[in-house]
Structure 1
Amino acid sequence: MNQPVLQDFTYDPFDPDVMADPLPYYRVLRDHHPVYYIPKWDTYALSRFEDIWQVLGLTDGTFVASEGTLPAANVLSEHNSGPVADPPLHPMPFHANFDSPIYENVRRCTSAQFRPRSAAKLADRIRTLANERLDELLPRGTFDLTQDYGGIVAAAMVCEFVGLPVDLASEVLATVNAGSLAQPGEGVEVGNARPGYLSYLTPIVEQRRAEGADGSCPIADSLINFRLPDGSAFSDMEAAIQMLGVFIGGTETVPKITASGLWQLAQRPDQLAAVRADLEANVPVAREEIIRYAAPAQWFARTARRPYAIHGTTINPGQRIITLLGSAARDEREYSDPDQFIWNRPIERLLSFGRGQHFCLGVHVARLEITIMIQEFLKRVGDYRIIAESALRPPSSFQWGWNSIPVEV
């Protein structure tokens, strides 16, 4: 950009132009405004990889998520005069809004199936689901990689995690997709329990409580049996709200990354051929570059509880930061030639799944799902063509990913 444009430069994650394509804004922020103040929201945007890596790695309570990790504009419009306390225990919001130890203790209720050893045992099930979808889709000749393939497989796994019938996968996918759409100027607050989500989750809790919550449905049963520091338990709705991270996160991101990866490879026949040469060994390598290049999550927020100095700027208690993960993934200080897709790029660090206290709960399952879905697709499909003119990536302040990638096989 030339100097006059720089002089007039403004950044707001809810600006329609930013929501349509944030990447040019990220470059200007990284190069000229690594700590960019947005007066309207009393919020600082951090855009460089190393700065975000350091901030998210803090575990001393300097930054907290008490206003949500993805606050909407109506939350940010209320400026704070000092540190923000944790929310009250009841009615309990999504547990990510709490600091230690409540956050970690509730998170453990939902984490057992996502630990590395447990996740590894899911490979056969994921492979079965992927091939069942391909059995149905390939005879059609054309279908949608995001919605029809990756979306249904990921949503089916989420159904099994939370205790829903797998045949509800398409409904769950549609509900989550609709809930993530944002209007310019507003954004999305994932922590707010939308009625559509709870219509699936609350009945699960009610049924499990009636049946005794004996552990056979691990997430719901653990939440029912959990006790807060004051000895109180979750209501059915409060327990259902704690399941939102699995319900939304497990459904939304993986399909977009998987479909985008197959598209990036299709655009580069030499790289696709290299990956095909040994799918078992090479897809996990390519997966990391696909995640870096195509992960749709753009930013997460924190609120300062203690002063924090960075690049000569002091962020005061009550002020917010947004850590621009989408910018960090394209930071030339961390990755050489970052706007290029290079399937076997050496990647030492990634921020696409976050870092620190709020590191993605389902990271091991997500990596496994992406790997298996790409492997099974490439095993069974020779030539394929992305119908690029029909691909759809709606404007978004957060999940800026390809909601639709049609393919012809």
Structure 2
Amino acid sequence: MSDKLSAAENHIIPDERSAVLTDPQAYADGRIYDTYTWLRANMPLGQAVVEGFDPFWVVTRQEDIKLISRDNETFHSGDGQFSFMDKGSDEYIRAMNGGDPHLVHSLVSMDPPEHFKYRRLTQGYFMPQSVKKLEDDIRAIAREFVDKMMATEGECDFVSEVALLYPLRVIMSIFGVPVEDEPIMLKLTQELFGAQDPEMSGAVEILSAEQQGEHLRKTVAGFEAYFRELSKKRRETPQDDLSSVIANAEVDGEPIQEKMEMGYYITVATAGHDTTSASTAMAMWKLAENPAEFEKVKADPALIPGLVEEAIRWATPIKSFMRFATTDVEVSGAPMRKGDWIMLCYGSGNRDEAVYDDPDTFRVDRSSSPLLSFGFGPHLCLGMHLAKLEMKILFEELLPRLRSVRLNGEPRNIPALFISGPKKVPVKFEAT
């Protein structure tokens, strides 16, 4: 490790900036964006050295993030932790997992040629033409949740009433999970992504690294127990749903391995609603905070796709993904060595001044610009088109029912290093 540090000694990020990058609360209270802005201006590709974490390169410009993301040969996803975590959590997971850093084997942790073999199993299911066939069903679900919001008589927490449950219902209906089991999926997802937030993890205090590792293991085991049973049913009696596609999939002419099958279920089930929930909640947060933007999109429904794009940019639910250099390589003057850990900061790339005009302002009529919220390159999110369609349909159904909306208290974000979004968005509204 010392050789790697000496090679990068002119690229070491100041301690106070590195500390923000490793603080879950900074992603909740917005301090992370000031650090991103400083890094883009002063050290767009630097190395953070923080006690308790392996050193990691921090990539903050969109151009560099894209360069690394598209090169799966030079920069691997699966050589270690693809989500950012401290050394203690990583060591605990490896120790209880036979040295394997991945509790969940999913597309995110796969590299070529394995990645494409598994991606193509469901890729067709999520293409725009396939997703469009779901529009009528999704619209019916959206109307149900808009009706529930209206029934609150003008005051609610948009997160708990709509943003959490609407995308959950959509992805579970696609999976074939019954409505009565949705609370199980919601609880497990919140525990998986909220380990650094006691309110989400169910803990009474912030968990230690070892406790977080054990918490994640138990949560993954809970998912596997549920999906193992569902998969058995779908192999015995296939249905017209995504669970049947996964349960009966073949790779290289052989039935899908169980660990890969479970990883597929868990990834689609969690990312398929948690990230969409975050972006949906952020859209309402910013509309309630910016009456002029609300009036703009309400007066012109053609701006709803722009609202969706801007909310996804603003939320950037997946804060970063990690990569590993497979060889010595220089990127924008940064001397990376084989095995170096690299953080792709999507939230920074989505606020890059070189790409966006006035990036720290929320605008529903922003001209179309590239987003990093769904990743980039071979690992581009499979569910991107579904997520955008869900949000578009919801606001097509919701905005005509609202005369006005404003914040009714302080919104709050979930503190987390990997995936997070709004935890509370209290609103007061007038119905039409």
* Bin for the TM-score computed over the shorter chain: 0.7 to 0.9
Aligned-pair distance for 1:129?
A: 0.6
Does 1:400 pair with 2:420? Answer: yes
1:180-225, CA deviations, whole angstroms, 9 ceiling, x for partnerless residues?
A: 11337858999977123223322111112233x4xx3453333334
Does 1:121 pair with 2:129? Answer: no
- 2-structure distance, mates of 1:326, 1:298: 6
Asked whether the equivalents of residues 205 and 240 of structure 1 are also in contact (C-alpha less than 8 Å), the reply is no
- Report the equivalent of 1:337: 358
Does 1:171 pair with 2:184? Answer: yes
Amino acid at match of 1:9: E
- Report the equivalent of 1:242: 264
1:311-364, CA deviations, whole angstroms, 9 ceiling, x for partnerless residues?
A: 322212211111000111111121121111121111331111110111111000
Asked whether the equivalents of residues 171 and 273 of structure 2 are also in contact (C-alpha less than 8 Å), the reply is yes
- 1-structure distance, mates of 2:347, 2:286: 17
1:10-58, CA deviations, whole angstroms, 9 ceiling, x for partnerless residues?
A: 3153325534431122112212221121234131110111111211122
Aligned-pair distance for 1:405?
A: 1.1
- Report the equivalent of 2:201: none
Q: Which one of the candidate residues 317, 323, 339 is aligned to 2:338?
A: 317
Amino acid at match of 1:248: T
Cα distance change of structure 1 residues 66 and 95 upon mapping to structure 2, 3 Å threshold = farther
1:217-265, CA deviations, whole angstroms, 9 ceiling, x for partnerless residues?
A: 4533333343445x65345454222212210111101122112112212
Aligned-pair distance for 1:156?
A: 0.8
Report SS of the residue matched to 1:9: helix
Aligned-pair distance for 1:149?
A: 0.8
Amino acid at match of 1:202: R
- Report the equivalent of 1:135: 147
Does 1:197 pair with 2:218? Answer: no
Does 1:306 pair with 2:327? Answer: yes
Does 1:25 pair with 2:45? Answer: no
Asked whether the equivalents of residues 305 and 318 of structure 1 are also in contact (C-alpha less than 8 Å), the reply is yes
- Report the equivalent of 1:286: 307
Asked whether the equivalents of residues 73 and 326 of structure 2 are also in contact (C-alpha less than 8 Å), the reply is no
Report 1:60-209 matches (<5 A).
60-74=73-87, 93-141=105-153, 142-183=155-196, 194-209=220-235
- 1-structure distance, mates of 2:214, 2:376: 20
- Report the equivalent of 1:14: 22
- Report the equivalent of 1:380: 401
Asked whether the equivalents of residues 278 and 420 of structure 2 are also in contact (C-alpha less than 8 Å), the reply is no
- Report the equivalent of 2:380: 359
Cα distance change of structure 1 residues 131 and 349 upon mapping to structure 2, 3 Å threshold = same
Asked whether the equivalents of residues 304 and 315 of structure 1 are also in contact (C-alpha less than 8 Å), the reply is yes
Cα distance change of structure 1 residues 217 and 108 upon mapping to structure 2, 3 Å threshold = farther
- Report the equivalent of 1:81: none
Aligned-pair distance for 1:384?
A: 2.2
More deviation, 355-364/50-59:
50-59
1:357-407, CA deviations, whole angstroms, 9 ceiling, x for partnerless residues?
A: 111110000001111112211111212222232x22121112231122122
Q: What's the Cα RMSD here?
A: 2.9
- Report the equivalent of 1:52: 65
Report SS of the residue matched to 2:16: coil
Report SS of the residue matched to 1:351: coil
Does 1:36 pair with 2:46? Answer: yes
Asked whether the equivalents of residues 407 and 425 of structure 2 are also in contact (C-alpha less than 8 Å), the reply is yes
Asked whether the equivalents of residues 355 and 369 of structure 2 are also in contact (C-alpha less than 8 Å), the reply is no
Asked whether the equivalents of residues 109 and 219 of structure 1 are also in contact (C-alpha less than 8 Å), the reply is no
Amino acid at match of 1:56: S
1:254-290, CA deviations, whole angstroms, 9 ceiling, x for partnerless residues?
A: 12211211221222222222211221x1101222122
- Report the equivalent of 2:273: 251
Cα distance change of structure 1 residues 277 and 104 upon mapping to structure 2, 3 Å threshold = same
5+ residue gaps, structure 2, are 1-12, 92-99, 197-205
Cα distance change of structure 1 residues 113 and 57 upon mapping to structure 2, 3 Å threshold = same
- 1-structure distance, mates of 2:270, 2:88: 21
Report SS of the residue matched to 1:403: strand
- Report the equivalent of 1:224: 247
- 2-structure distance, mates of 1:99, 1:321: 15
Amino acid at match of 1:34: P
- Report the equivalent of 2:283: 261
Amino acid at match of 1:182: A
More deviation, 115-124/160-169:
160-169
Cα distance change of structure 1 residues 407 and 130 upon mapping to structure 2, 3 Å threshold = same
Report SS of the residue matched to 1:321: strand
Asked whether the equivalents of residues 155 and 170 of structure 1 are also in contact (C-alpha less than 8 Å), the reply is no
- 2-structure distance, mates of 1:250, 1:178: 15
- 2-structure distance, mates of 1:167, 1:159: 11
Asked whether the equivalents of residues 46 and 334 of structure 2 are also in contact (C-alpha less than 8 Å), the reply is no
Aligned pair count reads: 390
Asked whether the equivalents of residues 25 and 416 of structure 2 are also in contact (C-alpha less than 8 Å), the reply is no
Asked whether the equivalents of residues 14 and 397 of structure 1 are also in contact (C-alpha less than 8 Å), the reply is yes
